[in-house]
Amino acid sequence: MCGRFTLSANVADLAARFMAGQTAAVEGLRPRYNIAPMQKSVIIKNEEPDALTLATWGLIPVWSKDASIASKLINARGETVAEKPSFRSAFKKRRCLVLADGFYEWQKSADGKSKTPMLIRLASGEPFAMAGLWENWKPLDAPESEWRSTFTVITIGPNELMSPIHDRMPVILPRGRERYWLNPGGGEVELHDLIRPYPAQLMHARPVSSRVNSVKNDDSSLILEQTQANLL
């Protein structure tokens, strides 16, 4: 799964990197080093491909009676995303880019008694887009002002870098295919072709502070590399 990620790049750099000229919705965005489910983060919707916008992590399908389902839908398995009732409509009509510059997974020790948090980034250090789905939802009979945007991150089996760390990883879209994910102009087969592990040789992983375990901690010290000595 993907349960925490980072987005520390500033708005201007994100707008330039992802060709998004509309940034009003995210002005004042601060660097984030421990984004967790049920928190807001930056996405680009297929309906507004030139706009950075905020949405809450944890998908709420439009047919859901209440918001409690969101905590169960922070990830969508890429192998079944087109068929599952919670995701199939969004997969066809409401895809998004989930912007990040790193994500965390917890690697089990050899004896299975402890876990080390690992920060995984692109080797280049640049921001990237995870394949996502979005929905707009509001409680039944609530006023129009209560519409909220939510999203989920699509995951897939691990590449060679990730396999010793975790059995799933987010789908990271190649830079040249991000716009295709939003507006393919083709069919379902082509979208499925993008749901694959990112090349391991273009990624990097390092151990980081166990302070990331708490969602209350969200500062730049979380992403500093930890030696075995400071992990003990």
pLDDT, tens digit, 9 for 90 and up, residues 199-211? 999 999 999 999 9
C-alpha Rg value of the chain to the nearest Å: 17
| Domain membership flag for residue 148 | yes
Q: Which amino acid is at 26?
A: V
Catalytic residue among 96, 105, 135, 178: 105
In this prediction, the residues of the chain whose per-residue pLDDT falls under 70 are: 186-187, 189, 227-232
| Domain membership flag for residue 229 | no
Catalytic residue among 2, 96, 135, 178: 2
| Domain membership flag for residue 230 | no
The mean pLDDT value of the chain amounts to: 93
| Domain membership flag for residue 231 | no
| Domain membership flag for residue 232 | no
- The domain of 97 spans 5-223
Cβ proximity of 58 and 149 under 8 Å: no
pLDDT at 139: 82
pLDDT at 138: 86
Whole-number Å distance between alpha carbons of 44 and 133: 10
What's the number of domains the chain is made of?
A: 1
Pairing type for strands 203-207 and 115-122 reads antiparallel
pLDDT at 110: 80
pLDDT at 187: 67
Residue linked to tokens 């694959």: 196
Q: Where are the alpha helices (DSSP H) in 84-223?
A: 88-93, 178-182, 188-193
Q: In what order do the strands lie in the sheet with 102-108?
A: 32-35, 5-7, 102-108, 115-122, 203-207
pLDDT at 140: 79
Query: pLDDT, tens digit, for every residue of 115-153?
Result: 999 999 999 999 999 999 999 998 877 777 788 999 999
Is residue 47 classed as helix, strand or coil in its secondary structure?
Answer: coil
CATH number at residue 157: 3.90.1680.10
The strand pairing partners of 118, in sequence order, are 105, 207
Q: Which helix (H) or strand (E) holds 7?
A: strand 5-7
Q: Where are the alpha helices (DSSP H) in the chain?
A: 11-17, 88-93, 178-182, 188-193, 228-231
Residue closest to 60 by CA, chosen among 48, 47, 76, 73: 73
Predicted structure pTM score: 0.94
Catalytic residue status for 146: no
Catalytic residue status for 96: no
Q: Say how many CA atoms lie within 13 Å of 205 toward its Cβ.
A: 19
Whole-number Å distance between alpha carbons of 99 and 32: 11
